[in-house]
Amino acid sequence: MRDLHDRSVVADTHNDLLDAIVHRPVEAWVPHFRERWLPQLRAGGVNLQVLPVFIDDAYRPEGALRQTLRMIEAAHRIAEVDEVRLCHDGTAIDAALADDRIALVLALESAPGVGEDVELLETLFRLGVRVASLAHFGRTALADGSGEDASGSRLTRAGVAAVAEMERLGMMFDVSHLGVAGVEHVLELATRPVIATHSSARALRDHHRNLTDEQLRGIAANGGVVCVNFFAPFLHESDFRIERLVDHIEHIAGVMGIRHVGLGPDFVKEVLADVTPPCCETQFIEGVPTDRFLPGLEGPAGLPLVTEALLERGWPDDDIALVLGANVLDLFRAELGKPKH
């Protein structure tokens, strides 16, 4: 099992470790990454790590752009560590992997620092951002998140402009967290493949953060990839075992085809412990508890368990390698950082 895992490209398309890093003093950013996160990524066999820039509501609206820039700066600083490399396109990712470096890719989650100023997407692209979503759970100037599904809202005018600008630049559109009508709107507009960096199957767990089979088919037809979220309460109401994660992987592969599935773990246990005040340890978000996790998959070191679980289900080695990271790598090679002609 470990041999298969180690010889595969393992891509994690959503780890909020930057959030944990920037909650520390600036001088601790790089040491914390080197001492705490890098060993976990290596233990999990991670070769390609997408780093979302997530801005908490406390910074909105005035401080959102400032915090966005701080998190981007943190990413550039940790990229100075010898074992990782910040990558802007597929060629750079391949070079990093060839040098046994972990390829880091910067992403925006919700982009509150942009607001209606869509021209800032080009500024952020120059700083290395290559993936972006337009909403979290709530409403932004660009779109509604899935928590606002009752509104039936599509993208705003600025959101439509943002899709066009991202496609022009070569910044991939992330539909995770976007409301149902927003996903439909994006798929109507998109002329390039999209990605869902951390979303699971609504057919198995009826929560608005998950994608319906219709949405899955639409993303597959668009040429995109859906990366399955590991957050236990989004996988099942009460059965928090790795088997339920495999159920979602198998369902999404069955609906979309094996070439359209990846992994977007969203490992939040350690991040939440770092950023949540001691007074508020037990929390709920969008109706689910934030303190329930898949045993052994609380962080990236547990990723070999996914390979083991898929082998136990009888998956062929080649299909496992596709889901572990080859599908995401192929998508990034084709789309990441490439301007529209």
User: Which one, of 220, 200, 223, 224, lies nearest residue 212 by Cα?
Assistant: 200
Is-contact 84 104, C-beta < 8 A?
Answer: yes
Q: Where are the domains of the chain?
A: 2-335
Whole-prediction pTM: 0.96
Higher pLDDT: 275 or 224? It is 224
d(CA 288, CA 206): 12
User: Which one, of 3, 12, 2, 29, lies nearest residue 324 by Cα?
Assistant: 12
| Residues 58-72, mean pLDDT to the nearest whole number | 86
* Dihedral (Cα; 172, 175, 181, 185), 10-degree rounding: 10
Please determine, looking at this structure, whether the domain spanning 2-335 carries the CATH number 3.40.50.720.
Answer: no
Q: Quick one: pLDDT at residue 50?
A: 98
User: Which one, of 171, 293, 279, lies nearest residue 231 by Cα?
Assistant: 293
| Residues 170-177, mean pLDDT to the nearest whole number | 97
pLDDT digits (tens, 9 = 90+) for 43-53: 999 999 999 99
Position 252 pLDDT exceeds 80 = yes
Q: Quick one: pLDDT at residue 271?
A: 86
Q: Quick one: pLDDT at residue 226?
A: 98
**Angle subtended by helix axes 180-189 and 213-221, to nearest 10:** 20
pLDDT digits (tens, 9 = 90+) for 193-234: 999 999 999 999 999 999 999 999 999 999 999 999 999 999
Residue for token digits 């978000």?
285
Percent of the chain with pLDDT over 90: 83
In this structure, of 26-30, 181-185, 187-191, 291-295, the range with the lowest mean pLDDT score is 291-295
Position 302 pLDDT exceeds 70 = yes
Q: Quick one: pLDDT at residue 272?
A: 79
Residue 251: pLDDT band with limits 50, 70, 90: very high
| Residues 130-157, mean pLDDT to the nearest whole number | 91
Average of per-residue pLDDT values in the chain? 94
- Give the 3-state DSSP-derived string for 62-102, with helices as H, strands as E and coil as C: CCHHHHHHHHHHHHHHHCCCCCEEECCCHHHHHHHHHCCCE
Is-contact 234 265, C-beta < 8 A?
Answer: no
Give CA angle at 315 (310, 319), nearest 5°.
100
Residue 142: pLDDT band with limits 50, 70, 90: very high
Is-contact 227 201, C-beta < 8 A?
Answer: no
Position 134 pLDDT exceeds 70 = yes
Residue 341: pLDDT band with limits 50, 70, 90: confident
Is-contact 182 147, C-beta < 8 A?
Answer: no
Residue 282: pLDDT band with limits 50, 70, 90: low
Alpha helices in 150-241 (DSSP H): 157-169, 180-189, 213-221
Would the CA dihedral through 151, 154, 158, 162 be positive or negative?
A: positive
Higher pLDDT: 148 or 193? It is 193
* Upper half-sphere CA count for residue 108 (Cβ side, 13 Å): 31
Each as own residue / partner, the long-range contacts of residues 27-35 (CB below 8 Å, 24 or more positions apart, any chain) are 29/74, 29/77, 29/78, 30/77, 30/78, 30/80, 30/81, 33/78, 33/81, 34/78, 34/81
| Residues 67-89, mean pLDDT to the nearest whole number | 97
User: Which one, of 168, 102, 108, lies nearest residue 134 by Cα?
Assistant: 108
